[in-house]
Each structure stands twice: as C-alpha cells, then as structure tokens.
Amino acid sequence: MKIWHSSSSESKPCVVCGKKTGTYKVYEQTNIALKIPACNGDHYNSVDVKEMAAASISLIKKVAMRG
C-alpha cells in the first residue's frame, strides 16, 4: 500500500475536527485510491486508517470483479 500527502484547491471538512482543509492523506493499492481529508500537522498524523483502507480496497475489487 502506498500512502502519500496530496493537496488540492478543493476543500473538504477534516475527518478529525471538521474544519475545511485542502490537505488529504491518500491510501493507494492496486490502482484504487482512498482520499482522507485531514488538516496538516496533528490531525494529518493522527489519521491512521491503513488497515481499513486495505480491507475496503480489496472489497471494492471483489465486488467490481463480480460484475
């Protein structure tokens, strides 16, 4: 799984505090990416959904492959 930092001009509420942010933590596996909005700093660092992201992505693939 690849995890990286992305910034966008599109603001979304931070998953931790709800304040608008253009910073996203991106989890990518097998060409599927999940973008989680989180403020830079503490909130960005406290967001850790790697295991859930991996589980969701494999479920998405399974469902998609079923047609």
Number of chain residues interacting with Zn ion (CB under 5 A): 5
**Among 2-10, 27-35, 36-44, 48-56, the segment contacting Zn ion (CB under 5 A):** 36-44
Decide: is 39 part of the binding site for Zn ion (CB under 5 A): yes
Which of 16, 55, 53, 67 shows the shortest CA–CA distance to 38? 16
Rounded to 5°, angle at Cα 44 from 33 and 31: 10
CB 22 → Zn ion: shortest distance, Å? 12
Cβ within 8 Å of residue 14, ≥6 positions away:
20, 21, 37, 38, 39, 43
Of residues 10-29, which lie at the interface with Zn ion (CB under 5 A)? 14, 16-17
Binds Zn ion (CB under 5 A): choice among 24, 25, 37, 43:
43
Binding site for Zn ion (CB under 5 A): 14, 16-17, 39, 43
